[in-house]
Amino acid sequence: MMSRDEIARRAALEIPQRSRVRLAGALAQQVAAHAKNITFVDNAIADIAVIDVAEVSGSGGISVFASARRVIALLDVEGGARFVDEAEPTAIVARAHRVVSSLGVFDFTADGLILCEVPRGMSAREVQEHVPILLRARPSLCPVRLEI
């Protein structure tokens, strides 16, 4: 599994330079140390929101408000966060486009949850053992990138 610092480093790679970014949560704040040439915003609409979450549903639903064009959810499974089969509809207030977690990098599509990158030393099968949602592996599945 990936450490909290590795989650933050990987999430920083998702942020293009000159983006307006909203960070929410302690793990998201660690992303700031690894992101380059970006502007942090508090109340304005951001290009990207990077948010710590306790749960992510199989459709990308999160129970945290995220006012941004793109939402990246950070999920520390070792810290108790988890994927859930489906969240209660009233609990979902936003949708994540991508999840960077201690179990790898995931995208949400019409086909469901897609495993894009796996932590070094783990297989897709081992990741599936920790996720109650049926995963599909991206055909180009690779180890988690930590540097450009």
Distances (CA, A) of 112 to 50, 78, 102, 107, 117: 21, 23, 19, 8, 16
pTM of the model: 0.92
Task: Name the nearest CA neighbour of 100 among 46, 34, 19, 17.
Answer: 34
Enumerate the domain spans of the chain.
Answer: 4-143
Beta strand segments in the chain, E: 20-24, 39-40, 46-52, 55-57, 61-62, 68-75, 82-84, 94-95, 98-101, 104-109, 112-118, 136-143
DSSP class of residue 119 equals -
For each of the chain's 148 residues, which pLDDT tens digit applies?
999 999 999 999 999 999 999 999 999 999 999 998 899 898 778 999 999 999 998 888 888 887 789 999 999 998 898 998 876 555 667 889 999 999 999 999 888 899 999 999 999 999 999 999 999 999 999 999 998 6
CATH: 3.40.50.2000, 3.40.1080.10, 1.10.1040.10, 3.30.70.890. Which one for 4-143? 3.40.1080.10
